Structure 1
Amino acid sequence: MKITAIETVPYAIPYTKPLRFASGAVHTAEHVLVRVHTDEGLTGVADAPPRPFTYGETQASVIGVIEKVFGPQLVGLDVLARERVHGLLHRTVGNPAAKSAIDMALWDVVGQALGQPASRLLGGYTDRMRVSHMLGFDSPPRMADEAERMRDTYGITVFKIKVGRHPVRDDLDVCRAVREALGDAAELYVDGNRGWTPSEAAAALRELDALGITLAEELCPADDVLGRRRLVRDCPVPFVADESATTPAEVTRSLLDGAATAISIKTARTGFTQSQRVLFQCEGMGAEVVMGNQIDGQLGTVCTLAFGAAHAASSRRAGELSNYLDMSDDLLTAPLRISGGTLAVPGLPGLGVAVDEDKLGRYRQDQ
């Protein structure tokens, strides 16, 4: 089965509530739908969420590199020639979301051709994951109220709290408010998006330890080499590298250099193929992983879920799978349903989802 075309469709769907964090804020999902067409009539689909404040990609750059570079290189290749495909993709530097969307769309095609869910082809460990919900910057009462609403409505009991503000006490007040609202039964962890200095983060961790947090993610920049190393060495919980470790090589350096003891895997930036390489490296080096969220819509969430549920190590912790709930609409014909704090993998071949063409027509930006 050969690739005949790679299609890109830019679209924009507003959020009902912007997600704010130390390195930026997202008000609208300005993503690119990527479709890989084949000569046997099967089409694979995936989502590319550009994050210019983190990786430098935009809608225009995703479309440009796929239409002008990747598409011409890949058309005519067999969909199963994954090493050949990745060899060509990685001749071009950067562009993680564009590369990842192509990779996952190809896995979608293969699953459809074999009549098997992509998650089963990736490993098939379980059919569902526990859900973690990200809480973006807001006042302590509002963030605590959101956490309670997510718990009461969807059964979610794991929360990632965005921190990294100045003064630090604002974030500490939020964490205390969320813990007080949810009680000891909830799991809380924090993500600084590199917003604090190493000394600020060290002081905050001493306060946060009393709240029973379970992970600390990117509290300070990895470029603060010595400060970060000291912070990680003294951190009482696994210290997660996210945007500082986006490739297998960066993951290895981060773990060996003492810049992290755990890794966030995001299929939106490493697809399925590279994510497996990252996961297997972490297993071999004894580092935990968490399935992260690229502020995904439902299609991106399905991809995170498919990969996370496929492996024992990536399904051990709750995955960040719920922030599509803040979008005003979505593109899938059958919306995802979180129940009892878990999300089930669609059981149909490939990714197991379909795009609503009417909605796509409503939100696409190229017409």
Structure 2
Amino acid sequence: MKITRVEAIPFAIPYTKPLRFASGEVHTADHVLVRVHTDEGLVGVAEAPPRPFTYGETQASIVAVIEQVFAPEIVGLPVTDREGIRDRLERTVANPAAKSAIDMAVWDVIGKSVGLPVTELLGGYTDRMAVAHMVGFAAPEKMVAEAERMRAEYGITTFKVKVGRRPFSLDVEACRALREGLGDDVELYVDGNRGWTASEAARALRAMEDLDLTLAEELCPADDVLSRRWLTGQSRIPVVADESATTPGEVTRELLGGSAHAISIKTARSGFTTSQRILFQSEGMGAEVVMGNQVDGQIGTLCTVTFGTAYSSTSRRAGELSNFLDMSDDLLTEPLEIVDGTVFVRQRPGLGIDIDEDKLAHYRQDR
């Protein structure tokens, strides 16, 4: 079975409220639906969410690189030639979301061809993941209200708090309000999106020592090599590398260099094939992992759940799986559900993605 065509369809779905964080804010899901077609009629589907303020990709650039560079490289290859496909995609630098969507769509085709869920092909460890919800910048009382709503309506008890504002006292106040408002039976961790300097981060962490934070993610820029080592060396909270650890090589650099204790894996930027490498590298070096979120829609979230449930170490912690709740609509015929703070993986061939063609026609941007 060979690849015959690769589609890249831009679509836009508004958020009901913007998600604000240190490196930018998102008002609309300007994403790209990627479809990999084969000569046996099977079609694999995935989603590419551009994050220009983090990785430099835009919706237009994803469509262009897929249509002009990646599709010509992989059309004609056997769909099972995952390593050959990855090798051809990696000849082009950067473009992580575009590469990842193609990779996951290929896995979707393979799962459909053998009649098995992709999560079983990857590892098949469990059938569900606990959910962590990201709380973006807002006034403390609004952040508490959002977290309380997520706990009441969906049973979510793990919250990732966006920090990185200047002055950092704004974030300290918000985290304190969340702990006081939610009590001690919820997990709180913070993500700076590279917004602080190391000295600001150190002061903020000291000011929050009594809040029982479990993780501190990407508090300062990846290029601040010595400052990051200094911060990580003194932090009593495990430091997570996110944007600084997008490849196995970067994982090695961050862990051996003393700049991180744990690694965030995002299938939206490393697909399934490279995410496996990142996971196994992290496990081999004794580092914990967390399944992150690139402000994915339901399609991307389903991909995260597919990978996260496949392995013991990726399913151990709550995954960031809920931000699609802030989208005004989505493209799946069968929406994802969060019940008692949990999302179940879909036990059907491939990824279990069925696109509502009427909704796609409504939201697509190329017609």
- 2:133 aligned with 1:118: no
Which amino acid in the other structure matches residue 259 of structure 1? S
Structure 1 equivalent of residue 99 of structure 2: 99
Q: Is the 8 A contact 2:13 2:330 kept in 1?
A: yes
Output the CA distance in 1 between the equivalents of 2:237 and 2:126.
Answer: 26
Partner of 1:165, secondary structure, is coil
SS of match in other structure, 1:179: helix
Q: How does 1:37-116 map to 2 (within 5 A)?
A: 37-116=37-116
Shift of 1:152: 0.5
Q: Which residue is equivalent to 1:154?
A: 154
Q: Distance in 1 between matches of 2:355 and 2:109?
A: 15
Corresponding position of 2:345: 345
Q: After the TM superposition, which residues 225-244 of structure 1 pair with which residues of structure 2 at under 5 Å, given as runs?
A: 225-244=225-244
Letter in 2 for 1:217: E
Q: SS state of the match for residue 309, structure 2?
A: helix
Matched ranges for 1:1-367 at <5 A: 1-367=1-367
For residues 159-211 of structure 1, the C-alpha deviation after alignment (integer angstroms, 9 at most, x for no partner) is 00000001111001100111111100000000000111101100111122210
Shift of 1:72: 0.7
Displacement of 1:36: 0.1
Superposition deviation, residue 332 in structure 1: 0.2
Give the Cα separation in 1 of the matches to 2:137 and 2:78: 45
- 3-state DSSP of counterpart to 2:54: coil
Query: SS at the partner of 2:14?
Result: strand
SS at match of 1:365: coil
Please give the alpha-carbon distance, in whole angstroms, between the structure 2 residues aligned to 1:143 and 1:48: 28
Q: CA RMSD in A?
A: 0.6
CA–CA separation in structure 1 for the residues paired with 2:74 and 2:285? 34
Letter aligned with residue 268 of structure 1: A
Deviation at 1:259, TM superposition (A): 1.1
SS where residue 16 of structure 1 aligns?
A: strand
Alpha-carbon distance between aligned partners in 1 of 2:57 and 2:284, rounded to the nearest angstrom: 31
Q: Structure 1 counterpart of 2:283, which letter?
A: E
Segments of 4+ moved more than 6 angstroms: none
TM-score (norm 2): 0.99
Q: Quote how far apart the aligned CAs of 1:7 are.
A: 0.5
Length, aligned pairs only: 367
Gaps of 5+ in 2: none
Distance (Å, rounded) in 1 between the aligned partners of 2:335 and 2:318: 20
CA contact (8 A) 2:222 2:243 kept: no
Measured against aligned partners, the alpha-carbon deviations of 1:340-361 in whole angstroms (never above 9, x if no partner) come to 0000001111001201000000
Tell me the amino acid that sits aligned with residue 142 of structure 1.
Answer: K
Using the alignment, how far apart are the partners of 1:255 and 1:205 within structure 2?
Answer: 21
Amino acid of the residue matched to residue 227 of structure 1? S
2: CA distance, partners of 1:49 / 1:4: 24
C-alpha separation in 2, matches of 1:11 and 1:112: 25
* CA deviations over 1:6-40 (Å, ceiling 9, x no partner): 00100000000100000000000000000000011
Deviations 1:233-277 (A, max 9, x none): 111121001111111111111111111111100000000000000
Residue type at the aligned position of 1:310: A
Q: What SS does the corresponding residue of 1:333 show, helix, strand or coil?
A: coil
TM-score by length of 1: 0.99
**Aligned equivalents of 1:218 and 1:72: distance in 2?**
36
SS at match of 2:189: strand
The CA distance in 2 between the partners of 1:209 and 1:256, in whole Å, is 26
Distance (Å, rounded) in 1 between the aligned partners of 2:345 and 2:68: 34
Q: Give the Cα separation in 1 of the matches to 2:73 and 2:147.
A: 46
Cα deviation, residue 222, structure 1: 2.0
Secondary structure in 2 matching 1:53: helix
